[in-house]
Amino acid sequence: MSSCLAIARIDRDKVEKLISGNTSVLGGLDQRQIDEYSSFDLGSITKVLSTTSILMKFVETGKLGINDNVSKFLPTWKIGKKSEITLRHLLSHNSGLPAWRPLYISCSTADEVHGYISQIDLEQKPGKKFTYSDLGFITLGRIIEIVGGHDLENIFFEIIAKPLSLASTRFKKPADLNNVVATSIGDSIEYKMVESKKPYVVPEHASDFARWRSHALSGEINDGNSFHCFNGIAGHAGLFSNLRDLISFTQELNKSFKGEGFFDSRILNEFLAPSLEQTQGLGFKRWLVGPESWSFGHFGFPGTGFAFHGPNQQALIYLTNRLHTTGEFKPMVEIWDSEFQDFSTRIARDS
């Protein structure tokens, strides 16, 4: 089972915290009791906290539009149905791209990955089917770099982390290597995914890759594509953060929802609106909390999640290291559904 848990329940300006456990119980790593400053590998929360947030600011300043074609920024996409794919398609996960591939088996660098994705076959016509895709957000990360004129790490710091004072939210490595929560034993989970072809049928074989990690990951990004191909700086995964910074971020989203925060409320609400699926906005996941009310956020594979509810100014942050086990780990959707039920009940009670 996981070794730690950090939860924050936010009701307007009131914050209730629950923090317990140690940074590690496996792999001979040093242990310390976690606190609100302990860094967690956020996994796919990166898709919202970095990629989606930057794109909202780019839309606000007129640097791009969400209906722009990907080929406007990446000329190699001017082929077949890929020429029809827009930023909106990538943000709402209906571009037709596959969900996941172990890109590090075929590619060694970020440039090789982007070339590979530009040539990969689509699974369906753009805009027709929801398929949650890491490949789409990897591509959005590259577009951000092209539009912003710098690497993703620098753009995130200047446009999001610095103005919001997210001092402990960083790509690649945590703010404090002595206070970071460990995740899985190496790449064991992705190794099994490649070998078993579950949940994705991929053509690659584990034996074709020689750099599988086998040590307990502490201060290293868990996601294989982010770590092996992008040095921990990618549009789909790569951020470390802590409870304190995520409280600030969710509070800022709630303020922005009311038109009083860092993000333009009109643009934020456009990103929060449903796409093909009622449960998916632009970047943000959507969860029903009542007959006609929704909350928004995202969760990450290592065991992280957040949601905010603008109308009631409430939020939930859930951080754990569910992969830090030698046994079976509980599916994140089950963990989140359990925690979210209480959050949903609180909103319904207060509405």
CB 256 within 8 A of CB 262: yes
Distance of alpha carbon 79 from alpha carbon 73, whole angstroms = 14
Q: Is 263 left (phi over 0), alpha (psi -120 to 50) or beta?
A: beta
The predicted pLDDT at position 347 comes to 77
- Domains of the chain plus CATH, in order, are 4-350 (3.40.710.10)
128 and 206 in contact (C-beta within 8 Å)?
A: no
Question: Distance between CA 183 and CA 101 in Å, rounded?
Answer: 21
In this structure, the number of other CB atoms found within 10 A of the CB of residue 30 comes to 10
Neighbours of 267 (CB within 10 A): 18
User: How would you write the pLDDT of the chain (351 residues) with one tens digit per residue?
Assistant: 467 999 999 998 899 999 999 999 887 788 899 999 999 999 999 999 999 999 999 999 999 999 999 999 999 999 999 999 999 999 999 999 999 999 999 999 999 999 999 999 999 999 999 999 999 999 999 999 999 999 999 999 999 999 999 999 999 999 999 999 999 999 999 999 999 999 999 999 999 999 999 999 999 999 999 999 999 999 999 999 999 999 999 999 999 999 999 999 999 999 999 999 999 999 999 999 877 889 999 999 999 999 999 999 999 999 999 999 888 888 887 887 777 777 887 776 776
pLDDT computed for residue 61 by the predictor:
97
The CA distance from 36 to 243, in Å, is 5
Q: How far apart are CA 311 and CA 299, in angstroms?
A: 21
Look up residue 321 and give its two tokens. 């290291």
User: Does pTM surpass 0.95?
Assistant: yes
Q: How far is CA 230 from the centre of its chain?
A: 15
Distance CA 224, CA 217 (A): 12
pLDDT for 351 equals 63
pLDDT at 2: 63
Look at residue 145 in the predicted model and tell me its pLDDT: 98
Burial classification of residue 252, based on how many CB atoms lie within 10 Å of its CB (0-12 exposed, 13-18 middle, 19 or more buried) = buried
The predicted structure's pLDDT at residue 29: 81
